[in-house]
């Protein structure tokens, strides 16, 4: 477990300075749409208190802020990611903390919402993280997870796998100069899709209701769990 934590921290510290550019480039800008839809599905408003876990450089939290959410906190394992988040949004300064999802240093019932964008597969203990989420959520609070998945349609699955295993690592390596990072990404997505059922894990963590939605031909899923 500790080895995965060290690997994830090293990778994201290494690629932080090119992370936003590569996200937008490699998704052809569709990542903006995914985040907006996920925030809409979450049902957040100006009275929400949000913790964005694995917040990275803050794009998900910034999308929520643009949608009217004002009370936002960021959590990430990578200090360099958080530093970039702080440079992008004045309002997050003092409210972004270096931490892991499995140990959230907040009082019980602190937040109405938790969001995670493309970060759950990087957790070293997903059940423990979900238990931690439930503890810090208020009654009826929601977790909104945005994550990749393999599409069920055979044509899109073949196309997706080719892009993720051949094209994405090549471009990612050329721009970020970190070969391991963009080999880890497709491998982690494939392994995650084979082994992890988010709905089941959230139900096992005692969330009362779990809904799932698919975006962009099924390559992305949005999972909303209610405490």
Query: What are 116-134's pLDDT values in tens digits?
Result: 999 999 999 999 999 999 9
Which of residues 221 and 160 earns the better pLDDT score? 221
How long, in residues, is the chain? 227
Q: Alpha-carbon distance 32 to 187, whole Å?
A: 23
Minimal CA–CA distance to 145: which of 159, 129, 128?
129
The CATH number given to whatever domain includes residue 8 is: 3.40.50.150
**Enclosing domain of residue 201:** 2-151+197-226
Residue 110 belongs to a domain:
yes
Report the distance separating Cα 136 and Cα 221, nearest Å: 24
- Domain count within the chain: 1
Query: Cα–Cα distance between 211 and 191 in angstroms, integer?
Result: 22
Name the token pair of 212. 């799932």
Q: Is residue 184 part of a domain?
A: no
As given in the structure block, the two tokens for residue 185 are 């990404």
Q: What is the pLDDT of residue 168?
A: 74
Question: For 174-191, what is each residue's pLDDT tens digit?
Answer: 776 776 767 777 777 778
Whether residue 125 lies inside any domain: the answer is yes
Q: Is residue 174 part of a domain?
A: no
Strand partners, 143: 114, 225
| Torsion angle in degrees (nearest 10) through CA of 83, 122, 227, 59 | 40
Q: Is 192 contained in some domain?
A: no
pLDDT tens-digit profile of 26-75? 789 999 999 999 999 999 999 999 999 999 999 999 999 999 999 999 99
Residue 146 to residues 1, 151, 216: CA-CA distances in angstroms?
A: 23, 15, 12
Provide the token pair at 74. 């960021």
DSSP 115-153: EEES-GGG-S-HHHHHHHHHHHEEEEEEEEEEEE---SS
Taken in order 48, 50, 126, 170, the sign of the CA dihedral is positive
pTM of the model: 0.91
Rounded Cα distance, 142 and 115, in Å: 8
Asked if the structure places residue 127 within a domain, the reply is yes
Q: Which of 4, 57, 68, 70 is nearest to 31 (CA)?
A: 57
Task: Taking residues 100-104, report their average pLDDT.
Answer: 95
């Amino acid at each position: 477990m500790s080895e995965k934590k060290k690997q994830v921290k090293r990778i994201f510290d290494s690629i932080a300075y090119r992370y936003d550019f590569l996200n937008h480039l490699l998704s052809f800008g569709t990542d903006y749409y995914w985040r907006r839809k996920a925030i809409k599905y979450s049902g957040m408003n100006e009275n929400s208190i949000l913790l964005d876990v694995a917040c990275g450089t803050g794009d998900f939290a910034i999308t929520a802020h643009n949608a009217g959410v004002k009370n936002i906190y960021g959590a990430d394992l990578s200090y360099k990611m958080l530093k970039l988040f702080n440079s992008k949004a004045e309002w997050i300064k003092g409210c972004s903390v270096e931490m892991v999802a499995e140990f959230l240093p907040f009082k019980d019932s602190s937040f109405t919402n938790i969001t995670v964008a493309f970060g759950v597969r990087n957790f070293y203990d997903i059940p423990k993280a979900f238990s931690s989420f439930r503890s810090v959520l208020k009654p009826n609070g929601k977790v909104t997870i945005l994550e990749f998945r393999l599409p069920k349609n055979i044509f899109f699955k073949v196309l997706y796998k080719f892009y993720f295993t051949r094209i994405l690592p090549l471009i990612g390596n050329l721009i970020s100069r970190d070969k391991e990072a963009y080999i880890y990404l497709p491998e982690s997505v494939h392994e995650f899709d084979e082994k992890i059922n988010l709905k089941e894990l959230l139900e096992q963590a005692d969330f009362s209701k779990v809904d799932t939605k698919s975006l962009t031909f099924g390559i992305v899923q949005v999972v909303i769990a209610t405490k």
